[in-house]
Structure 1
């Protein structure tokens, strides 16, 4: 199936967020997925992942959520983010993360979802939101703020419990969390899952074996090919259960 990659500009209350979409180039409408990148932002590996997901029949929108600081690439990245360059890259990214307040996240989420659902190649039905690293937290906040619209949410190696149990009660989406071994102890996983149970969330939440933070990203030294495949298995299963062509 041929996949089209389209550069886009999303209007927001604070300006224009540059973005791209990946979708089957077949003239049909496909269920929409909002994909939040990790803190390193849009780069070739994210285009590959969006293309892969689009190949399974989805319209995938990937915004530059740091657009207030400039268009992609907001931070110049090496081709490979290894141990020797990671601290310097994170030092550049941290101020952007700290400036991305919950208010900005929710304002942007409104704009991203409004844009996504008006694209001619995207279906009119419910959408899914997925995210990596800090993007997992953005995905959770988006899903909690749009319970009628977001049918599925997935977060991978992200600080998904950072907003505490109160936000979980607003979730109506089906949820999958894929945690890195270095991000969450079994005890912390138990506490998170207890909070999800208490909130009545329909979820799966597991630590992917042998992983460190960032395991899905093939341009970093955290990459774990087996865990990336497990991520695809879990994500595609979730989307298959929750999204329908419309």
Structure 2
């Protein structure tokens, strides 16, 4: 596996990203994955997750969704929302990086994967704020994205006009949602609303509740990280991508 830092030209500027080449290339087409970050920015914990996917034979792109804010240090996932001034700064960056911005950016992300040699099917996976973006990307580029996964993603079926459940009918690929056992950002009523939207759209999907896990459980530098729960997430994600992308 080799990591390469690259710059991607988008409609709004230049997005920083890391590209992870697969450690073993398949004999046929190379599948690709866009990993949509959580709220704390690209950092070693997410690099390690991208590397694990690359070790399974995927070409992985990890873009910085906050690139419009210029250079910044990654936030500490354990304290960023509990301490000032980082809490206010981070919330502002999240609010200022809209779903539509990431949707537009995703066209450039897909092109970057193609230019790097990802000739096979493309999947998306997102964590926290990245979960909704992974699903919305699948709706925006249905002929390119064959599978979208969200883990502890928030507001997947909210009242917002850019809520992913409203775009379910545009998706052509498969969808997997792994939710934290108790998560205020994705309560049971939203889970039911999302399930109904995907069912009506006749989307092949799974919504799985990770009972006992807290929001952020799958990412190693979160205070609520759970090793057993994280390994369960990996088992589900790798099986999902193996079936949908290979």
- Do the structures match in fold with TM over 0.5? yes
Q: What is the CA deviation profile of residues 214-245 of structure 1, one whole-angstrom value per residue up to 9, with x for unaligned ones?
A: 1112112121111111111111111111112x
For residue 55 of structure 2, what is the aligned residue in structure 1?
A: 55
Q: 1:203 aligns with which of 202, 205, 220?
A: 205
Q: CA deviation at 1:118?
A: 1.4
What are the equivalent positions in structure 2 for 1:57-206 lying under 5 Å apart? 57-71=57-71, 74-78=72-76, 81-82=77-78, 86-88=82-84, 89-120=86-117, 122=118, 124-159=119-154, 160-162=156-158, 163=163, 165-183=165-183, 184-206=186-208
> Mean alpha-carbon deviation: is it higher for 13-22 or for 179-188?
179-188
5+ residue gaps in structure 1? none
Residues 24 and 57 of structure 2 are in contact (CA less than 8 Å); yes or no, is this contact kept in structure 1?
no
For residue 5 of structure 2, what is the aligned residue in structure 1?
A: 7
Query: What TM-score results when the alignment is normalised by the length of structure 2?
Result: 0.89
Q: CA deviation at 1:30?
A: 2.4
Q: What is the CA deviation profile of residues 21-58 of structure 1, one whole-angstrom value per residue up to 9, with x for unaligned ones?
A: 11224576621000011010101100111111111110
Query: SS of the residue aligned with 2:45?
Result: helix
The verdict on how the C-alpha distance between 1:210 and 1:30 changes in structure 2, with shifts beyond 3 A counting, is same
Query: SS of the residue aligned with 2:182?
Result: coil
Residues 165 and 199 of structure 1 are in contact (CA less than 8 Å); yes or no, is this contact kept in structure 2?
no
Residues 8 and 109 of structure 2 are in contact (CA less than 8 Å); yes or no, is this contact kept in structure 1?
yes
Query: SS of the residue aligned with 2:116?
Result: coil
Q: CA deviation at 1:182?
A: 2.1
Query: What TM-score results when the alignment is normalised by the length of structure 1?
Result: 0.89
Q: How many residue pairs were aligned?
A: 236
RMSD, matched Cα: 1.9
> Mean alpha-carbon deviation: is it higher for 163-172 or for 219-228?
163-172
Residues 150 and 176 of structure 2 are in contact (CA less than 8 Å); yes or no, is this contact kept in structure 1?
yes
